[in-house]
Amino acid sequence: MNLIDPIVAFHSELQEIRRNIHAHPELCYEEQRTANVVAEKLTAWNIPVIRGMGVTGVVGVIKRGTSAAAVGLRADMDALPMQEFNTFPHSSKHDGKMHACGHDGHTAMLLGAAHYLAQHGTFDGTVYVIFQPAEEGGGGAREIEVRQVVHGAQATAAASSPVHSRACTRKTRPTAPGDRHDQSQVVPSVRHFEKLQLQRT
């Protein structure tokens, strides 16, 4: 796979973001701290932000050109009510809560895609980066859809790519040392986006 140089250069910051979120897991509709991290990063990158979508959701708006075409990219933010037994420095600081399904990685990957598109995107249209709460049985996507999205424009949240941790897909808790999520790449998401034909809303 050919890696995108600006994303490779941004890897250390994405790793820090993911570890920060992993250490502070929040359950469905409680993702206040995570939402703050997301909103602060988007704002720092000059991406307009809408808060409170689906209670704790965050939507960033990346617009280029004059086209009315739009696409939504989605990541989930909530953790699971599980005890973490890992011992690395960024393991969960909250008993009974853990990012065992990889949503910390999903959030970091979408932030990486947002940063890249805001800095280097050459598309004509609008990309909505949708950070969804309550994916783990809380109906967060439905809550965002009910409340619509940006400035009266209805955007449908795109299906997230099926990237989940082994703990989530096998319904087991991770016990092996290491930090496998740090190996996740934002590159596939960005490559996929660059091949999309934007659809009019």
Say yes or no to pLDDT of 199 above 60.
no
Give the total residue count for the chain. Answer: 201
**Residue 39 CB partners (closer than 8 Å, separation 6+):** 49, 51, 58
Q: For the whole prediction, is pTM greater than 0.75?
A: yes
Task: Assign 147 a pLDDT band (cuts: 50, 70, 90).
Answer: low
Q: Are strands 57-64 and 49-53 parallel, antiparallel or unpaired?
A: antiparallel
**Of the candidates 12, 30, 29, 31, which has an alpha carbon nearest to the alpha carbon of residue 21?**
31
* CATH class entry, domain 5-82+94-194: alpha beta
pLDDT in tens, 57-87: 999 999 999 999 999 899 999 999 999 999 9
pLDDT in tens, 163-196: 455 545 444 333 333 444 333 333 334 444 444 3
Q: What are the strands of the beta sheet with 69-76, ordered from one edge?
A: 49-53, 57-64, 125-132, 69-76, 199-200
Give strand pairing partners of 131.
Answer: 58, 75
The domain spans of the chain are 5-82+94-194
